Chain A
Amino acid sequence: MQPVHDLLLLLVVLTNFWVLGTTRLSATIRATAIQGMLLAGLPIALYPGLSLHIVGLAVGTFAVKAIFLPFLLSRAIREAAVRREIEPLIGFTPSMLLGALAVALAFSIAPQLPLPEMRSYMLVPVSLSTVVIGLLVLTTRSKAVTQVVGYLILENGIYVFGLSLVERVPFLVEIGVLLDVFVGVFIMGIVVFHINREFDSLDSARLTELRD
């Protein structure tokens, strides 16, 4: 039978596709929240035998990625009153296909990387594809909120990669990274709010009209 962590990683990939495919901003935020929950479950599934390190990581991830950041983002869209991604640079269908391509490439490249023994063969390909899909969302969507979501997904990919090395990375480093993301998204939330108040729109393409 397939181990639990492979199932979780598979669901992470599916949430990536969900973000790529949906037009509603609230749905993308919900998808990142679910992805955060899956990521919080991962360390426990990967390293059974609850050590303080692992449990701390899981609880921290859950609090930041599954509860606080989604809450912040949904507050941002409520105040800015944006609901949908209207005109992405790359359409929804092509971006879905690009995402599938990214997953295919990640799975074909990963076995050839000179990496130490992994807990799960899916860790590295899933992290690579999550990073690429995050980058795709970050660069091709026009709404600032979706770009923040893209940044979060990118960071989630890095987190998955970090999980493979969890025994060698000190706890403090991980907490530091988590804090970084938290502050980053916090600032972006404020920026998004201000952009909206100044320009009545969250379309980042219109930021080029900025003049003094």
Chain B
Amino acid sequence: MIAFPVFPIFTLLIVLGLAPVLPGIANRTKSALTGRRGAPVLQLYSDLGKLWRKGVVYSRTTTVLFRLAPVVLLATSLLAGGLLPLDGRVALLSFPGDLVAFAGLLGLGRFFLVLAAMDTGSSFEGMGASREVTFASFAEPALFLCFTVLVLATGQLQLAGMFGVPLAAAWPVAAPSLVLAAAGLFIVTLAETCRVPVDDPLTHLELTMIHEVMILDHSGPDLALILYASSVKMALFGSLIVGVLAPRAHEQRVLAFGELILGLGLVAIAIGVVESIMARLRMNRVPHLLVAASALAGLALILLLR
């Protein structure tokens, strides 16, 4: 008889509930560092509530794909969240090789978002879709290289194992590799969550947008789902970084989970700091940044393999 996984569900629900705070913290940090007051930290909740009450407008050129995409995007993000061991030892779902499923689920969500963007027939959205896919094809190898480092360092093929006890044991032996992998993951996070060196969430010009331009035609609850899903994505990648940097398997579960929440806040602040000290990269320089992330992870791998 399998016990009902109360604690993993509980932690997942809290993380999902708190996810919209993270972009708020990142933006607030940015405002504070640039001398403005900025939007409230809880702004995204109000936005989501407002969008949820609104009606939806569908263009006549769109098909069912367009309506499906937000749902698929959210569903895949939630499922991917279920794969992460949020308290540093047990995930809701766990099987050998689930790290591939994690990347695959996020990829599937992105795929549907891109399809929906192409479905509108707008040239702007097609352009955004093309950019998103180009950058994703550079970000994913970097993500997998980081995962490979973790697999080699811990000898575990599932996320719950990788971030569990073996990781704490790997730290004294392989600290430089793990730090490099975490740095690589941070760059991937910036790309995946569409933050500044890669994409500017505040831009108002379609020509310079990547993620924002793909969702221009979505409205009302659909847009709310997409915005929420992207904040969940930030929480997921943040948990990966915290998971690598702070192995918590030996601590009490509640304490370990509390540290995760704290760590997520710190990651959001770090994103805000990067956004305020860096200008956005030119489009053709973005792959270059992501290749650098791969190179960091590759170096970590070499150090482990020697």
Binding site for B on A (CB under 8 A): 1-2, 6-7, 10, 13-14, 17, 21, 92-93, 96-97, 99-100, 103-104, 107, 111, 121, 125
Contacts and interface: CB of A to CB of B under 8 A. Distances in A.
B36 interface: no
Given A1-B172, A7-B176, A93-B287, A107 B302 contact: yes
B306 A17 contact: no
A96 B303 contact: no
A160 B303 CA distance: 18
B175 interface: yes
Does more than half of chain B's interface fall in helix, strand or loop, or is it mixed? helix
B298 interface: yes
Nearest to A17: B295
A103 B291 contact: no
Contact of A92 (B288, B298, B305, B306): B288
A96 B295 contact: yes
B299 interface: yes
Contact of B288 (A93, A100, A104, A111): A93
Nearest to B289: A21
B172 to A, nearest CB: 6
B292 interface: yes
Contacts of A2: 175-176
A100 B176 contact: no
Given A2-B176, A7-B176, A97 B299 contact: no
B176 A93 contact: no
B291 A104 contact: no
B175 A100 contact: no
A10 B176 contact: yes
Interface in B255-306: 285, 287-288, 291-292, 294-296, 298-299, 302-303, 305-306
Interface in B154-207: 172, 175-176, 180
Contacts of B295: 17, 96-97, 99-100
B306 A93 contact: no
Contacts of B180: 10
A14 B288 CA distance: 15
Contacts of A103: 298-299, 302
A96 B299 contact: no
Contacts of B305: 107
B298 A104 contact: yes
Contacts of A13: 299
B291 A97 contact: yes
Given A96-B291, A107-B302, 20 more contacts: A1-B172, A2-B175, A6-B176, A10-B176, A10-B299, A10-B303, A14-B299, A17-B296, A21-B288, A21-B292, A93-B288, A96-B292, A96-B295, A99-B295, A100-B295, A103-B298, A104-B302, A107-B303, A107-B306, A125-B306
Given A6-B176, A7-B176, A10-B176, A93 B302 contact: no
A103 B297 CA distance: 12
Contacts of A92: 285, 288
Contacts of B298: 100, 103-104
A125 B303 CA distance: 11
B292 A111 contact: no
B203 to A, nearest CB: 23
A10 B176 CA distance: 8
Contacts of B302: 103-104, 107
Nearest to A13: B299
Contact of A1 (B175, B287, B299, B306): B175
B175 A17 contact: no
A121 B304 CA distance: 12
Contacts of A100: 294-295, 298-299
A17 to B, nearest CB: 6
Contacts of B175: 1-2
A96 B294 CA distance: 10
B242 to A, nearest CB: 22
